């Protein structure tokens, strides 16, 4: 990895957080007692292309001081105190550096919602401890499903980059969850109230659950994120979504590679003005709207979503909209619901490569309910309107052959203007059948079928 070398004298102010001073001074002496060079990474230049988000992406100003984070560098001892010290010291106008070649260990739940006008330069390897008892008792809980996080990232004008790795130590969690599905597994990056910020050039590995949970956020860009972390035992890494957005607006996710075991991206309740482009997704459950309508009395909105140029490989779905029916249903012991209302409106999936995908397109208003009769008897009150699927190419797997997709609404009253055009996707035997229920079949560039293999 290359970094710009600039004299510290070129910076207006240089601040070394107090716990790092001795380590940095020793390093400088080791360099012959000369002025220490600048070990900051150049800030990436981020642009949103070819599609543009609803609002201009953040343009952070220069920072005027630098803080280097000290570490015990033994892979065991908690470095959280050092990390907090550097972040507080360089908050409001500084540049915090996790230096290349040093390992940092986090064993304490960190509330980082105080951050303002700061660059966080992760050149190194950061790993969370495997103390599942501590994390279940102390990780931060969100109000959606069973989401908890190692830390809460929030604030304004936060710029995180550097090319380093953040490791969630997920294997211990995959094994624990296999023995107890009620285990509270932290997400790797929990965002709560982050605004006008950019996360880019990061490697994320072995998250216990979701890699990102983005809540109560606005105008945040994710660029060049590399996600992977399969289980090394017989116990599968489950629910490892790449991104889940929740009560957030104007989020851009782009130019990233995701190897995971659940949704590549999922737009949870009250996600609006989202742009997703230039993704390579492998092993996932697709790019999904939902699941929605899970909680009685809640009104869920997902609106103004544009997904462009997604490459889907070895996934259960390509483009997916999943809504709970208006009756209690249980997808699994720790995931159940139904009876909520809301709307899904103005969603576009444009240009998608389908490579060994079970369903290229899935619109499902019976999520979690395997009994079609019961689902139709209690149709969802959540409306699905102005949905476009276009420019799909490729081949599905044989799992649902001869079907390549499904357009299943629980009632024609709640589904309007669902359009599929230029759909050049076939199953292995060359068919392009799709199950169609309570939708306008003439607007769909597929051969509609009455057979639905998606239900057991």
The tens place of each residue's pLDDT in the chain, 456 residues long, gives 333 333 322 332 233 333 333 444 343 333 333 344 679 999 999 999 999 999 999 999 999 999 999 999 999 999 999 999 999 999 999 999 999 999 999 999 999 999 999 999 999 999 999 999 999 999 999 988 889 999 999 999 999 999 999 999 999 999 999 999 999 999 999 999 999 999 999 999 999 999 999 999 999 999 999 999 999 999 999 999 999 999 999 999 999 999 999 999 999 999 999 999 999 999 999 999 988 988 888 899 999 999 999 999 999 999 999 988 887 766 656 567 778 899 999 999 999 999 999 999 999 888 877 777 777 888 889 999 999 999 999 999 999 999 999 999 988 899 999 999 999 999 999 999 999 999 999 999 999 997 766 553
Sign of CA dihedral 169, 236, 353, 421: negative
193 secondary structure, DSSP code = E
How far is it, in rounded angstroms, from Cα 177 to Cα 182?
7
The answer to whether 123 touches 196, Cβ cutoff 8 Å, is: no
Tokens (6 digits) for 338: 């139904």
How far is it, in rounded angstroms, from Cα 17 to Cα 218?
30
pLDDT of amino acid 330:
63
The answer to whether 325 touches 366, Cβ cutoff 8 Å, is: yes
How far is it, in rounded angstroms, from Cα 243 to Cα 369?
25
Strand pairing report for 140-141 and 248-259: unpaired
Active site residues: 285
- Domain coordinates in residue numbering, the chain: 8-449
How far is it, in rounded angstroms, from Cα 306 to Cα 320?
13
Full-model pTM: 0.90
Neighbours of 232 (CB within 10 A): 12
Sign of CA dihedral 18, 24, 28, 34: negative
Exposure string over 414-443, b if 16+ CB within 10 A, otherwise e: bbeebbbeebebbbeeebbbbbbbbbeeee
218 secondary structure, DSSP code = E
The answer to whether 229 touches 260, Cβ cutoff 8 Å, is: yes
With tokens 């109000």, the residue in question is: 143
The answer to whether 213 touches 149, Cβ cutoff 8 Å, is: yes
How far is it, in rounded angstroms, from Cα 176 to Cα 182?
10
Distances (CA, A) of 318 to 36, 102, 105, 116: 50, 39, 37, 37
Taking alpha carbons only, the member of 337, 343, 339 closest to residue 305 is 343
How far is it, in rounded angstroms, from Cα 242 to Cα 362?
19
Exposure string over 9-31, b if 16+ CB within 10 A, otherwise e: eebeebbbbebbeebbeeeeeee
The CATH class of the 8-449 domain is mainly beta
pLDDT of amino acid 452:
62
Neighbours of 133 (CB within 10 A): 7
How far is it, in rounded angstroms, from Cα 176 to Cα 185?
9
Taking alpha carbons only, the member of 268, 245, 265, 248 closest to residue 257 is 265
Residue 229, SS3 per DSSP: coil
């Amino acid at each position: 990895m290359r970094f710009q070398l600039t004299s510290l004298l070129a910076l207006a102010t240089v601040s070394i957080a107090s716990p790092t001073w001795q380590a940095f001074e020793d390093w400088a002496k080791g360099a012959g007692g000369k002025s220490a060079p600048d070990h900051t990474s150049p800030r990436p230049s981020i642009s949103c292309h070819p599609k543009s988000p609803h609002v201009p992406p953040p343009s952070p100003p220069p920072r005027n001081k630098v803080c280097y984070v000290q570490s015990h560098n033994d892979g065991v001892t908690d470095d959280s105190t050092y990390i907090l010290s550097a972040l507080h010291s360089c908050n409001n106008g500084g540049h915090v550096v996790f230096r290349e070649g040093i390992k940092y260990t986090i064993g304490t739940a960190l509330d980082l919602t105080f951050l303002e006008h700061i660059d966080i330069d992760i050149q190194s390897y950061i790993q969370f401890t495997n103390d599942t008892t501590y994390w279940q008792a102390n990780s931060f809980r969100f109000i959606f499903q069973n989401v908890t996080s190692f830390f809460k990232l929030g604030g304004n004008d936060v710029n995180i980059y550097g090319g380093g790795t953040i490791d969630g130590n997920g294997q211990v969690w995959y094994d624990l969850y296999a023995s107890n599905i009620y285990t509270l597994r932290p997400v790797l990056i929990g965002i709560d109230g982050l605004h006008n910020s950019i996360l880019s050039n990061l490697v994320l590995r072995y998250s216990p659950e979701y890699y990102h949970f983005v809540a109560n956020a606005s105008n945040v860009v994710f660029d060049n994120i590399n996600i992977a972390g399969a289980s090394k035992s017989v116990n599968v890494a489950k629910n490892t979504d790449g991104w889940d957005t929740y009560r957030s607006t104007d989020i851009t996710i782009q130019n990233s590679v995701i190897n995971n075991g659940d949704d590549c991206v999922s737009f949870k309740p009250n996600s609006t003005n989202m742009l997703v482009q230039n993704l390579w997704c492998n092993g996932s459950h697709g790019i999904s709207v939902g699941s929605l309508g899970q909680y009685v009395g809640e009104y869920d909105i997902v609106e103004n979503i544009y997904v462009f140029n997604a490459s889907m490989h070895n996934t259960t779905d390509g483009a997916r909209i999943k809504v709970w029916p208006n009756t209690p249903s249980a997808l699994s012991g720790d995931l159940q619901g139904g009876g909520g209302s809301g709307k899904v409106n103005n969603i576009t999936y444009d240009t998608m490569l389908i490579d060994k995908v079970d369903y290229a397109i899935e619109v499902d208003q019976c999520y979690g309910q395997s009994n079609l009769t019961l689902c139709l008897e209690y149709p969802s009150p959540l409306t699905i309107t102005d949905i476009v699927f276009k420019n799909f190419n490729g081949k599905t797997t044989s799992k649902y052959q001869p079907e390549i997709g499904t357009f299943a609404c629980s009632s024609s009253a709640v589904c309007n203007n669902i359009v599929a055009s230029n759909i050049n996707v076939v199953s292995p035997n060359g068919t392009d059948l799709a199950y169609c229920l309570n939708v306008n079949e003439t607007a769909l560039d597929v051969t509609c079928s009455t057979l639905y293999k998606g239900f057991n």
